[in-house]
Amino acid sequence: MRAVAKYDSLIYCGEEDLLGHYLLNYDTESEQHIIGTKLDDVNGVMIGEGEWHDFTRTDLYKNTKKEDKISYSWDELIQRTCQNALNGTLGGNSDLLRG
């Protein structure tokens, strides 16, 4: 495993661009996402504006958002059921607090 690069400076426009850079910058050799470069003779990195925008245009991002919609539906159903239980408006013979 390669040691983490140490830079004298890291400049980025915003946290979302830093995250976008990280997610777009995958090193297949170490099988890790990295910030910056694997070059040893670099002492500073600047991550420009738009890295997050570029990441949101990838198939990986689009497919993940599509798959997450199912999870959001389950989250909403669980939230409503728990709120109904707390409000005492849950129908049927269910008792969520009893398990």
**pLDDT for 56-68, tens place per residue?**
999 999 999 998 9
pLDDT digits (tens, 9 = 90+) for 25-51: 999 998 999 998 887 788 889 999 999
Is there a domain that residue 50 lies in?
yes
Segment 8-15 mean pLDDT: 90
**What integer pLDDT is reported at residue 96 of this predicted model?**
74
Is there a domain that residue 3 lies in?
no
Q: Any idea what the Cα angle at residue 33 is, between residues 20 and 70, rounded to 5°?
A: 65
CA distance 32 to 72: 28
**What integer pLDDT is reported at residue 99 of this predicted model?**
62
* Shared domain check, 15 and 45: yes
* Shared domain check, 63 and 46: no
* Shared domain check, 50 and 63: no
Is there a domain that residue 27 lies in?
yes
Is there a domain that residue 69 lies in?
yes
* Shared domain check, 68 and 51: no
The domain of 29 spans 9-55
pTM of the model: 0.62
Q: How many domains does the chain have?
A: 2
Is there a domain that residue 23 lies in?
yes
CA distance 63 to 30: 24
Residue % of the chain over a pLDDT of 70? 93
β-bridge pairing 44-47 and 26-27:
unpaired
